[in-house]
A and B are shown apart, each in its own frame.
Chain A
Amino acid sequence: MRGVLRDLKEYPSRWRKLQEVVRNPIMREALERAMTRFAEGRALALEGLGDFQEWVDRCREMKDRALEKSQELWDKVKEEVETRGGTFYLAPDAQAAKEYIGRLAQESGGNLVVKGKSITSEEIELNPYLESLGLEVVETDLGERIIQLAGEKPSHLIVPAIHKTKEEVARVFSGAWGREVPDDPYLITKEVRKDLRKRFLKADVGITGINVVSADPPAFFLMTNEGNGRLCATLPPVQVIITGWEKIVERMEDAFTIFDILPVNSVGLKYSSYLSIFTGPFAWKKGRQFHVVILDNGRRKALEDPLFKEAMRCIRCGACMNVCPVYRTVGGHTFAHIYMGGIGAAWTAITDGLEEAREVASLCTGCGTCLEVCPMGIPIPSLVERVKELAKDKGQAERMAVRLVSRRKLLESAVGLTALVAPEKISRLPGPAGTITQERILERPQQPPFHPWALSRGLELGKGGEVTLYAGCLVEYYYPQIGRDAVELLARLGVSLQIMREECCGLPARTVGEMGLWEELAVKNLGYMPPGKPLLFLCATCMSGIHAYQENGGELPPLYDLSQFILEKLGDGAFPGFYEAKVAYHFPCHLERHLGIREEPLKLLSQVKGVELVEGDEAHLCCGGAGLYAFKCPPVSAEILKRKLEWLEREGVEVLVTSCPSCIMQLRGGVEKKGMPVKVMHLATFLLEAMGKGTDGGRMKNER
């Protein structure tokens, strides 16, 4: 209980922080620009590569194979490095790695260290450590140099200083060099070149990260665009490589496979300017040294975990962040510890502990947008869930809320009470909770619940219904009208329904890592499900939650989303309805990305006469609702929603249809708050209205 109170007390300040971030126009605009550019570039560049899924399969298989025998492969690399006169050190943790590199630097006899961009070195907080030894450390990647001089953290994986305008960058360098620097990117770059060139030539030690290491032949691959990496690696007398245990692949060809996809997926570039391959001391000058530091720091342990092991395939291309609605909104200062984004939550857990990881994880909506672009097939949302599961003592308030909504009896009482006391629409909550209603209104739950009504209509199990309906908690207690509309719609289409006893699908429990509760609910629901008969859903999230029972070996009847079911029912026939309006469909994340249902809803809607269908990329964006997320991170949720609403406005959409009550809550809340003339409807309601109240009904414009 204490944890819950502590959490609740922290919420308002957390919200305030998030609000500040989402209201920073420079950051927002810069992030937006970068991510749009990279995402568009990626799409274009991918065309030249053929089927993306084939790449994913290939990369995944190749990398898993290497990780499986990583010990053997590293042994081989070590032997070769040492044979050639280099040193090879496997650092068990961050401290050991820092100390080792610190010693190398001190033994070099000099004190100037130049560095290429390396997130592994950030992981071990190398710079402050070296500085504490009295060494001068100079980052040489332009973006990293800006950040270093400004004393800030990177806001984006690929363009670390994206949040700084050229004027701010000019000020940073003016301050550092004690003279006026013009605010022109070209001129600044040339000045930096001059400044850093001197340092490269004088440097005693050069430290770089590495993207990939191959075992056959043993080789270290480093990709950069600016060319600073290869200068760091080849100019100073002491070359130090620091990289993670997971970077290993078997053959040189495998490394090249990764570089075929890395720059394309990352920034939409076919190849970066420089791919440097190092294999041992490069003795162009006498006495040059070559040192390799491989960092474990939790990695080998992670390889033993069936889920975390999947994160080890990450090649840090950043694509998952470029498309992530949360990252686009708050950036890498907020949605990160050191590693950024949803995948960053997993990496933080592996290398830095659960406390920080949970913080990062709590910002993820679980929308799954990242799944579509990861070349290594990493199940990012599942990893985020796992982090939450392991970080048991964190996020107590959220867990408590989930335990409440996962228990039907508790939920029923809570909702019943709310329905009694709350006004029909809540447009402003008091105190700090006002943040929740800043960009959306809340609706009062409708009464009475769905099941008693359905039973009164004779829909109980075993009465010959051909299809079983799983209504889900939100239809049951919040929007029972959707359920009633569905029953009527299906009756008019000649389908005989039955309802089943239900527990919560368990998805909320899963998303906060309450796996025990999730399993308990799954077992119960599986027990209630009549075998063999199609199971029909009015909520994409519930369908996805129940679909996931298969992971634990649950045997399920065939599952249907309403759109799938009706299309199948209609066969070649058209939908017998009419609705004259500009209609858009909002794809619930769970429907599209977790269940892979992408075509049916549009196909069905386009069959309804009178419908002018509005399509666009925005139809697929997360709405920011994500169950309890809208209450947990209201400012972020509202910003994500904004994008959707702007689209509706731009396109003049009159009716927005969707298949998830949680999305309806979010979308309608936003539309009504803004007073937009858009009706937000469940597909069932829309189709029923299209069929009209009479036999040949339907909706004409002037009827609404």
Chain B
Amino acid sequence: MSEDRLFSRFVEEFEAAGGVLLYPRGEETLEEVLTRMVEEEGIKSYAISQRTPRFKVIDTLFKDLGLEKSRDYPSLDLGVTRAHGAGALTGTLVFVFKEGRDHLLTSLPRIHLAVLRREDLYQHVSRAVAPHVQDRGELPPYISLVTGPSRTGDIELTHVTGVHGPEQLYLVVVS
């Protein structure tokens, strides 16, 4: 699969599973799409997992928008984390955790925003997990593969999102 084909397949599957690709999308800048998301989702509080320059940009923007940064993860509107990889065939994001509280940002807040580097995209999600095998041939204690928002059909098969995990899964892809 060519790289472009891989990417478009990923987006297709990711959105079919209920995720929303925020960026890149048309001509809009990252600031524009994030601002829109904050408005549309009525986001007031957030937390962010990393301090790298790219996350700084997002952090600053949210601060400028007047959002409250909080460590009370269960009651947050938005959690922002890095996705360590993705599989195109199923539109799946890979999150790898060794320690710390970052994993809570993928599971507790109402909305989850993931940031994925384009080079971490593989065809099959298993390929995206493989690079995380460690020295002794072991894996880190917790890897979470996420395909769309949390959902259920347990009551009369009615589709409802946001049962225990996020109601909405947004994605920003950077190169």
B163 near A189 (CB under 8 angstroms)? yes
Smallest beta-carbon distance B23→chain A, Å: 22
Tally of contact residues, A, Cβ under 8 A: 61
Encode contact with B along A220-254: 1 for CB under 8 Å, 0 otherwise.
Answer: 00000111101101100000000000000000110
Contacts known (A273-B149, A282-B97, A284-B99); A226 close to B125, Cβ less than 8 A: no
How far, in whole Å, are A169 and B155 apart by their CA atoms in the complex? 8
Q: Hey, which chain A residues are within 8 Å of B130, CB to CB?
A: 252
- Nearest-neighbour CB distance to chain B for A676, whole angstroms, equals 33
Q: Output the nearest chain A residue to B75 by Cβ-Cβ distance.
A: A197
* Bound-complex Cα distance A302 to B142 (A): 32
B171 to chain A, nearest CB (A): 14
Q: How far is the CB of A291 from chain B (nearest CB, A)?
A: 14
Check: B158 CB closer than 8 A to any chain A CB. Answer: yes
User: Is A226 in contact with B74, judged by CB distance below 8 angstroms?
Assistant: no
**B142, B145, B155: which contacts A161 (Cβ < 8 A)?**
B155
Whether a CB of chain B sits under 8 angstroms from the CB of A482 is: no
Interface: B40 (CB within 8 A): no
Which of B97, B129, B146, B155 has the most C-beta atoms of chain A within 10 angstroms of its own C-beta?
Answer: B155
List B contacts of A252 (CB < 8 A).
126, 129-130
B65 within 8 A of A: no
Is A635's CB within 8 Å of the partner chain B? Answer: no
Q: Are B147 and A273 in contact (CB under 8 A)?
A: yes
For chain B residues 124-174, which have a beta carbon within 8 Å of chain A?
Answer: 124-126, 129-130, 133, 137-158, 160, 162-166
Residue A386 at the chain B interface, CB threshold 8 Å = no
A165 to B99 alpha-carbon distance, docked (Å): 43
A185–B162 Cα gap in the complex (Å)? 12
Distance, CA A275 to CA B133, complexed state (A): 17
B150 to A274, Cβ gap below 8 A?
yes
In the bound assembly, the distance between CA atoms of A168 and B42 in angstroms comes to: 33
Q: Look across to chain B and name the residue whose beta carbon is closest to the beta carbon of A276.
A: B144
CB pair B160–A227 under 8 Å, yes or no, is no
A260: min CB distance to chain B, Å: 8
C-alpha gap A185/B163 in the complex (Å): 11
Indicate whether B45 reaches chain A with its CB closer than 8 angstroms: no
Q: Is the CB of B158 within 8 A of A186?
A: yes
Shortest beta-carbon distance, A23 to chain B, in Å?
21
Q: What residue of chain B has the Cβ atom nearest to residue A165's Cβ?
A: B156
A214 (CB) vs chain B CBs: closest residue: B139
Q: Is A517 an interface residue (CB 8 A)?
A: no
Nearest-neighbour CB distance to chain A for B148, whole angstroms, equals: 5
Known contacts: A231-B107, A284-B103. The answer to whether A226 contacts B165 by CB under 8 A is yes
Which residue on chain B has the smallest CB distance to residue A232?
Answer: B164
A589 within 8 A of B: no
| Chain A residue at smallest Cβ distance from B13 | A270
Contact B141 A279 (CB under 8 A): yes
Partner of B145, one of A159, A185, A274: A274
Cβ-based interface call for B81 (8 A): no
Chain B residue at minimal CB-CB distance from A253: B126
| CB within 8 Å: A-B pair count | 161
Q: Are A185 and B156 in contact (CB under 8 A)?
A: yes
- Is B16 among interface residues, defined by CB-CB distance under 8 A? yes
Residue A37 CB within 8 A of the other chain: yes
B109: min CB distance to chain A, Å: 11
State which residues 100-133 of B face A: CB under 8 Å.
100-101, 103, 107, 124-126, 129-130, 133
Judged by a CB distance under 8 angstroms, whether B79 is at the interface is no
Judge whether B139 and A185 touch: CB under 8 Å. Answer: no
How many residues in B have their beta carbons less than 8 Å from beta carbons of A? 47
Min distance, Cβ A149 to any Cβ of chain B, angstroms:
13
Contact A271 B92 (CB under 8 A): yes
Contact between chains at A230 and B163 (CB < 8 Å): no
Q: What does the 1/0 interface line of A612-655 toward B look like (CB < 8 Å)?
A: 00000000000000000000000000000000000000000000
| A166 contacts across to B, CB distance below 8 A | 155-156, 158
Q: Is A69 in contact with chain B by the CB < 8 A criterion?
A: no
Note all chain B residues with C-beta closer than 8 A to A159.
153-154, 157
**What separation, in Å, do the CA atoms of A193 and B110 have in the docked complex?**
11
A33 to B129, CA, bound (A): 37
Contact B141 A216 (CB under 8 A): no
Interface residue A192 (Cβ < 8 Å from any Cβ of B): yes
The answer to whether A415 has its CB under 8 Å from any CB of chain B is no
B97, A279: Cβ atoms under 8 Å?
no
Contact: A193 with B137, CB < 8 Å? no
Residues on B with C-beta less than 8 A from A204 are none
A141 CB to closest chain B CB, in angstroms?
7
Q: Which of B45-91 contact A (CB under 8 A)?
A: 74, 90-91
Residues of B within 8 A of A279 (CB): 138-142
Q: Is B17 an interface residue (CB 8 A)?
A: yes
Chain B residues near A196: list those with CB within 8 A.
164
Which residues of A are found within 8 Å of B144, using beta-carbon distances? 230, 274-277
In the complex, chain A residues whose CB is within 8 Å of the CB of B145: 271, 274-277
Q: Is the CB of B17 within 8 A of A271?
A: yes
Bound complex: CA A253 to CA B130 (Å): 9
Q: Which residues of B contact A43 (CB under 8 A)?
A: none
Check A230 against B154 for contact (C-beta < 8 Å). no
Complex CA distance for A216 and B164, rounded to whole angstroms: 31
Q: Which of A185, A190, A252, A271 has the most CB of B within 10 A?
A: A271
The listed residue (A193, A216, A276, A283) touching B163 by CB distance below 8 A is A193
**Nearest-CB residue, chain A, relative to B165:** A227
Docked-complex contact A271 and B163, CB < 8 angstroms: no
A217-B133, A226-B164 given; A273·B138 CB < 8 A? no
Residue from A164, A273, A290 in contact with B146 in the complex, judged by beta carbons closer than 8 Å: A273
Residues of B within 8 A of A201 (CB): 74
- Inter-chain contact A284/B100, CB cutoff 8 Å: yes
Could you tell me if A284 and B101 are in contact, using CB atoms closer than 8 angstroms?
yes
Nearest chain A CB to B157's CB is how many angstroms away? Answer: 6
CA distance A40 to B103 in the complex (A): 36
B160, A231: Cβ atoms closer than 8 Å: no
Instruction: Determine the residue in chain A with the shortest Cβ distance to B100.
Output: A284
Contact with B along A187-202 (1 / 0, CB 8 A): 0111011001100110
Contact of A270 among B16, B107, B164, B166 (CB under 8 A): B16
- The listed residue with most A CB atoms (<10 A of its CB), out of B125, B151, B160, is B160
Would A227 and B150 be within 8 Å (CB), given that A169-B155, A275-B145 are in contact?
yes
Known interface pairs A161-B155, A225-B152; A142-B137 also in contact (CB < 8 Å):
no
A219 interface residue per 8 A CB criterion:
yes
Q: Is there contact, CB below 8 Å, between A270 and B103?
A: no
* 11 A-B interface contacts by CB (under 8 A): A33-B157, A159-B157, A161-B155, A227-B150, A230-B165, A234-B142, A273-B147, A275-B92, A276-B144, A277-B144, A280-B138
Given contacts A80-B138, A270-B16, A275-B147, 18 further A-B contacts (CB under 8 A): A34-B157, A162-B156, A166-B155, A189-B163, A193-B164, A196-B164, A200-B164, A217-B133, A226-B150, A226-B163, A227-B166, A228-B164, A273-B165, A274-B145, A274-B146, A276-B143, A276-B144, A280-B141
The 9 A-B pairs of least Cβ separation, nearest first, read A227-B165, A143-B154, A185-B158, A226-B163, A282-B141, A185-B155, A227-B150, A256-B126, A275-B145
- Name A residues whose Cβ lies closer than 8 Å to a Cβ of B: 30, 33-34, 37, 80, 84, 140-143, 146, 159-162, 164-166, 169, 185-186, 188-190, 192-193, 196-197, 200-201, 216-219, 225-228, 230-231, 233-234, 252-253, 256, 270-284, 290
Residues of B bordering A, CB below 8 Å:
13, 16-17, 74, 90-92, 97, 99-101, 103, 107, 124-126, 129-130, 133, 137-158, 160, 162-166
